């Protein structure tokens, strides 16, 4: 099989984690006889410096001609400050490429061997952690209008708009129910229905949809309570579905349950629009560009490596190859010999990739 992938390393540690992950992908593809057609594109500050644009037309073209996009990270806080918010790489590049991809699956798993790296007490995590967070990605505060700062100091005011249509809520909840069906048949919908109108509508629709999905046990939780319960009884969480901002925050919190934010992969998926067009699926680790450690071969590539496993599963339906990557990665993490700095070790980014490639050799 041929896999046409747009590869956008971007800024900071994006460059090294993507390079490491692509080596793992090449190893898996080689073993299984697949051909990877990877076309690299500039994005973020790397693109502004070369082309004056965080998402140049050439990069868009590469993405449009691909079956999937692998993305590293964009943004460099020191330099971002020099641009108005609307021109920053996060908005111009990241939020642009995510358009149409409303379902962001963020998978948080704590391998048994990393139990000591999880900041929670062992008794709280004894039953393991495996949480799939489904974050709505194209609505809510990120895109709602009006948005902006108006007036002159000291009388400025600012507004962000949290808006959701019934259609947007239904389609992300549908992903929630479908995902729950493939796992433990439990779905937790997280909202703030005691205060927010969008959440009241969300909860009403979720309750309604539960009647059409009687095999799934739906529960609701307020987001503030959910953020506390995640630390109190993390093993009880399975599939969480929630709106954009809540999902952004809860997934960073949950990533620490997996040991480090550098470990968590994600997939951004869409569905055909009214004209039958589906946006190119986008795959990214949930961490950012981490400029403080960039270029030093220190970053943890595991989030990006597992992101490629999600790509193999969701875009290419190569579940066997995806499982091989996951198995090799978890084997290395469990063995605890090769540990990157974020988890308290001193292995480099490329040593981590080497260890996973070595483990792949004996994974069936
Ligand atoms: C993430 C990030 C982004 C987001 C930023 C960089 C815009 O935090 O992917 O979680 O908020 O979606
Ligand atoms: Mg985030």
pLDDT digits (tens, 9 = 90+) for 175-229: 999 999 999 999 999 999 999 999 999 999 999 999 999 999 999 999 999 999 9
The confidence score (pLDDT) of residue 85 equals 85
**How many Å lie between the centroid of ligand 1 and the Cα of residue 343?**
22
Phi and psi, residue 333, nearest 5°: -65, -40
The confidence score (pLDDT) of residue 112 equals 84
CATH code at position 17: 3.40.718.10
Q: Based on the structure, what is the number of domains in the chain?
A: 1
Which residues of the chain fall short of a pLDDT of 50?
A: none
In the block, tokens 């997939």 appear at 267
Q: Is residue 264 a part of any domain in this protein?
A: yes
Q: Is residue 172 a part of any domain in this protein?
A: no
Of all atoms in ligand 1, which is nearest to the CA of residue 94? 7
Q: What is the pLDDT of residues 239-272, one digit of tens each?
A: 999 999 999 999 999 999 988 999 999 999 999 9
Q: How far apart are CA 192 and CA 175, in angstroms?
A: 20
Ligand closest in space to the Cα of 89: 1
The confidence score (pLDDT) of residue 82 equals 95
Q: Residue 30 corresponds to which tokens in the numbers above? A: 């080689």
**Known active-site residue 142:** yes
Of all atoms in ligand 1, which is nearest to the CA of residue 245? 11
Q: Is residue 159 a part of any domain in this protein?
A: no
Q: Which of 348, 306, 361 is closest to 329 using CA atoms? A: 306
**How many Å lie between the centroid of ligand 2 and the Cα of residue 91?**
13
**How many Å lie between the centroid of ligand 2 and the Cα of residue 251?**
7
The confidence score (pLDDT) of residue 203 equals 98
User: 96: Cβ below 6 Å to ligand 1?
Assistant: no
List 49, 208, 224, 273, catalytic entry: 224
Instruction: Give the count of beta carbons closer than 10 Å to the beta carbon of residue 117.
Output: 20
**Known active-site residue 238:** no
User: 248: Cβ below 6 Å to ligand 1?
Assistant: yes
The confidence score (pLDDT) of residue 18 equals 98
Q: Is residue 9 a part of any domain in this protein?
A: yes
Angle at 108 between CA 183 and CA 240, to 5 degrees: 55
Please give the model's pTM, rounded to 2 decimal places. 0.96
Of all atoms in ligand 1, which is nearest to the CA of residue 244? 12
Whole-Å CA distances, 209 to 52, 170, 177, 203, 218: 47, 8, 9, 10, 9
The confidence score (pLDDT) of residue 146 equals 97
| Domain residue limits at 319 | 2-150+241-360
Q: How far apart are CA 257 and CA 114, in angstroms?
A: 10
DSSP letter string, 216-272 = SEEEEEEHHHHHHHHHH-GGG--EEEE-HHHHHHHHHHHHGGGT-GGG--EEEE---
């Amino acid at each position: 099989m041929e896999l046409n992938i747009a590869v956008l390393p971007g800024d900071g540690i994006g460059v090294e984690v993507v390079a490491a992950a692509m080596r793992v992908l090449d190893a898996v593809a080689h073993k299984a006889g697949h051909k990877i057609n990877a076309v690299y594109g500039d994005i973020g500050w790397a693109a502004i410096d070369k082309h004056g644009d965080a998402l140049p037309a050439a990069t868009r073209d590469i993405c449009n001609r691909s079956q999937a996009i692998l993305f590293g990270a964009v943004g460099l806080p020191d330099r971002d400050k020099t641009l108005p918010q609307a021109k920053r790489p996060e908005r111009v590049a990241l939020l642009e490429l995510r358009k149409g991809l409303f379902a962001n699956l963020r998978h948080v798993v704590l391998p048994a061997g990393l139990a000591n790296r999880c900041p929670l007490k062992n008794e709280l995590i004894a039953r393991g952690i495996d949480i799939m967070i489904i974050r709505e990605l194209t609505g809510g505060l990120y895109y709602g209008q009006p948005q902006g700062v108006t007036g002159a100091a000291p009388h400025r005011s600012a507004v962000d708009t949290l808006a959701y249509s019934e259609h947007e809520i239904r389609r992300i909840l549908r992903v929630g129910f479908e995902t729950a069906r493939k796992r433990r048949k439990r779905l937790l919908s997280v909202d703030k229905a005691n205060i927010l109108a969008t959440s009241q509508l969300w909860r009403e629709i979720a309750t309604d949809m539960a009647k059409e999905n009687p095999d799934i046990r739906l529960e609701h939780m307020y987001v503030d309570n959910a953020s506390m319960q995640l630390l109190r009884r993390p093993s009880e969480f399975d599939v969480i579905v929630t709106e954009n901002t809540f999902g952004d925050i809860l997934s960073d919190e949950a990533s620490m349950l997996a040991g480090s934010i550098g470990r968590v992969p994600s997939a951004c998926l869409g569905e055909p629009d009214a004209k039958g067009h589906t946006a190119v699926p986008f795959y990214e680790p949930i961490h950012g560009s981490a400029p403080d450690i960039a270029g030093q071969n220190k970053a943890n590539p595991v989030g990006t490596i597992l992101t490629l496993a999600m790509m193999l599963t969701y875009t290419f339906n190569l579940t066997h190859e995806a499982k091989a990557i996951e198995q090799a990665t978890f084997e290395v993490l469990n063995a605890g010999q090769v540990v990157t700095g974020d988890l308290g070790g001193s292995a480099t980014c490329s040593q981590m990739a080497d260890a996973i490639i070595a483990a792949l050799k004996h994974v069936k």
